[in-house]
Amino acid sequence: MISNYRDSFNAGFTAEKYQSFIKGLEAGFSEIPFRVAETPVFIPADLAAKLVDAGEEIISLIRQPDFKELTKDAIPAEWQVPGENKHPHFLTFDFGVCRDEEGQLTPMLIEMQGFPSLYGFQAHMANNYITAYGLSDNLTPFFNGFDEVSYISLLKEVILGPHKPEEVALMDIDALEQKTAIDFFATQKYLGIKILGLTDIFKEGKSLYYMEGTEKIRLKRIYNRLIFDEIADKTALFKNSFDPREELDIEWVTHPNWFYRISKYTMPFLKSKFVPDTHFLNELEQIPDDLENYVLKPLFSFAGMGVIIDVKQSDIHGVQDPENWILQRKVTYEPAVQSPDGKVKVEVRLMYLWPDGGEPQLCINLVRLSRGKMIGVRYNKDFDWVGGTIGLMNK
């Protein structure tokens, strides 16, 4: 979008440079199982400023004294986890890049989560884009004056807290088999923490442990990457590990309840020029006449699963649990990035860190490029110049 960088990048792009970039990205790690885009996105200052403003508006809602009361029904009763802290450690907001009425690029909120994203991989990716393509050293993926050193320092503060790296573990079910394992490895490289699957952890009394060879090591904190809804039919695993819904002597970063509180559930409470009109389906007084301009979303779905784009009245009438669905006005993405053979749609994820006793800080970003009907790797399998990437801005 910054035209001089875009023009220069496209003029110098070759498939060989892209393959060299991917090789460098994977060096020391395993093969990346998702598509990484050929290019970063060069975010202009005016769009970056709007993204910052949009994020601040959302945070102001989250910081309201009544936010927990407002979102108490967001957490499914069967997944209530005790020991919730005062605030999430991570905030991620996804914005589609659109055009406003004046024709200017502007962000529109698509999704939001109080859950970690690829905080390790994105820093690693930015370095590799800049190195592989010989980009200007005036470009940065960081906001608010952060650089790699200060960013990793804050990431350590948030994830490790006062504990030693061996007392903290990144946890997911079958962690090393996840598509996002590259982020787990990058995080481990930066922080020195363990990567554990759910069943690598066992309980004695109220404490959690894992084995390092023949040594039993007590966990003090879990960097949680496990979405509990995804193991709803696999809770037998808890018998060989631990049940997170029990009272445990463990710190969560971030606590699982925040995944539900800060989600699509929160969007109907937001009123902003950066947020599309959104309603809980069970509170909808009248079905809009222009239903073709809306999308129907389940509250607790992942990676676009279950979303109905071309909504009909029969779809709305057919929903059995309307309290778990939202009707949201469609966002029209602007194809804003010029590829060698056409323009590409853009979605920007703002990624915040919120240390204990501190303030939420916008640090880095994640960008997804799309030519398909929906953003996301599964909807863009047959295209190039699409996939995961990062936004670079002038320092």
179 and 95 belong to one structural domain: yes
pLDDT number for residue 217: 98
What span, in angstroms and rounded, lies between the C-alpha atoms of 132 and 294? 41
| Residue 365 within any structural domain of the chain | yes
What span, in angstroms and rounded, lies between the C-alpha atoms of 36 and 386? 7
Identify the three-state secondary structure at position 349. strand
93 and 218 belong to one structural domain: yes
Return all residues near 351 (Cβ < 8 A) that are at least 6 apart: 90, 91, 92, 117, 119, 122, 362, 363, 364, 365, 366
| Residue 88 within any structural domain of the chain | yes
Residue with tokens 């970690």: 116
What span, in angstroms and rounded, lies between the C-alpha atoms of 173 and 15? 36
What pTM does this model have? 0.94
269 and 295 belong to one structural domain: no
| Residue 378 within any structural domain of the chain | no
Q: State how far the alpha carbon of 386 is from the alpha carbons of 53, 173, 341, 376, in Å.
A: 27, 28, 12, 9
Polymer length of the chain: 395
268 and 295 belong to one structural domain: no
| Residue 155 within any structural domain of the chain | yes
270 and 290 belong to one structural domain: no
179 and 314 belong to one structural domain: no
| Residue 335 within any structural domain of the chain | no
Q: State how far the alpha carbon of 57 is from the alpha carbons of 50, 100, 281, in Å.
A: 11, 18, 24
Q: How confident is the model at residue 290 (pLDDT cuts 50, 70, 90)?
A: very high
92 and 112 belong to one structural domain: yes
Interval 144-188: pLDDT, tens: 999 999 999 999 999 999 999 999 999 999 998 999 999 999 999
Q: How many domains does the chain have?
A: 2
What span, in angstroms and rounded, lies between the C-alpha atoms of 18 and 22? 6
If you ran DSSP here, which 8-state letter would residue 37 be given?
P
Two tokens, residue 132: 């592989």
Question: What is the widest separation between alpha-carbon atoms in the chain?
Answer: 66
301 and 198 belong to one structural domain: no
Whether the ω angle into residue 92 lies within 30 degrees of 0, i.e. cis, is no
Interval 224-279: pLDDT, tens: 999 887 888 888 899 989 999 999 999 999 999 999 999 989 999 999 999 999 99
309 and 236 belong to one structural domain: no
φ, ψ at 56 (rounded to 5°) = -65, -35
pLDDT number for residue 372: 73
Say if CB 289 and CB 313 are below 8 A apart.
Answer: no
Q: What is the extent of the structural domain holding 283?
A: 279-327
Interval 2-53: pLDDT, tens: 999 999 999 999 999 999 999 999 999 989 999 999 999 999 999 999 999 9
88 and 210 belong to one structural domain: yes
Say if CB 58 and CB 92 are below 8 A apart.
Answer: no
What span, in angstroms and rounded, lies between the C-alpha atoms of 363 and 111? 18
Residue with tokens 């960088």: 5
What span, in angstroms and rounded, lies between the C-alpha atoms of 131 and 138? 13
| Residue 377 within any structural domain of the chain | no
Interval 330-381: pLDDT, tens: 999 999 999 999 999 999 999 999 999 999 999 999 999 998 766 765 666 6
321 and 228 belong to one structural domain: no
Two tokens, residue 349: 């994820």
| Residue 381 within any structural domain of the chain | no
Q: How confident is the model at residue 383 (pLDDT cuts 50, 70, 90)?
A: confident
Return all residues near 304 (Cβ < 8 A) that are at least 6 apart: 374, 375, 376, 378, 379
pLDDT number for residue 1: 86
If you ran DSSP here, which 8-state letter would residue 224 be given?
E
| Pick from 75-79, 104-108, 126-130, 221-225: least confident | 75-79
pLDDT number for residue 134: 97
60 and 205 belong to one structural domain: yes
